[in-house]
Homo-oligomer: A and B are copies of this chain.
Amino acid sequence: VDGKGAVSHPAQDLDDVVHQRTRLGILAVLSEVESVEFTYLQRALELTGGNLSRHLQVLDEAELVRIQKGYEGRRPRTWIRITRAGRRALSHEVRVLKGIVGSLEASLASGGR
């Protein structure tokens, strides 16, 4: 294939804030529940606390999640929930992924020919 007629690939519509593996996992878990506790997310995604914190910060800055610190008895707890914008961003990601997966299934099945 030469350079003629190239059009932008759908992968360019993916937003790295949402698409990145760990953040996609975080948002996917959050989409299923009202809110989750930090340590639950940590276990569900097999992340270190530091790693999870860093990704949550990216999502928080993009206003895709809301983070609430509080106490359960005397124990400090952090609760995280997905925002409406987070749900919208995740829906967009799903739409784009469906398109990519659909054409990939076709091209992989035909062996690229």
Give A residues with C-beta under 8 Å from B: 1-3, 6-12, 14, 16, 19-22, 24-25, 28-37, 39-40, 43-46, 82, 87, 90-91, 94, 97-98, 100-101, 103-105, 107-108, 112-113
* Structural contact, B44 and A25, CB atoms closer than 8 A: no
Instruction: Give the chain B neighbours of A104 by CB distance below 8 A.
Output: 28, 31, 90, 94
Report the separation of the CA atoms of residues A36 and B112 in the bound assembly, to the nearest whole angstrom: 12
Copies in the complex: 2
Q: How near does chain B come to A8, taking the closest CB pair, in angstroms?
A: 6
Q: Which residues of B contact A33 (CB under 8 A)?
A: 1, 112
Kindly state the separation between the CA atoms of A112 and B88 in the bound complex, as whole angstroms.
Answer: 12
Chain B contacts for A14, CB-based, 8 A: 21, 24
Q: Tell me if A31 and B108 are in contact (CB < 8 A).
A: yes
A28 touching B90 in the complex, CB below 8 Å, given contacts A1-B33, A34-B112? no
Chain B proximity of A102: nearest CB distance (Å): 10
Give Cα A30 to B113, complex, Å.
11
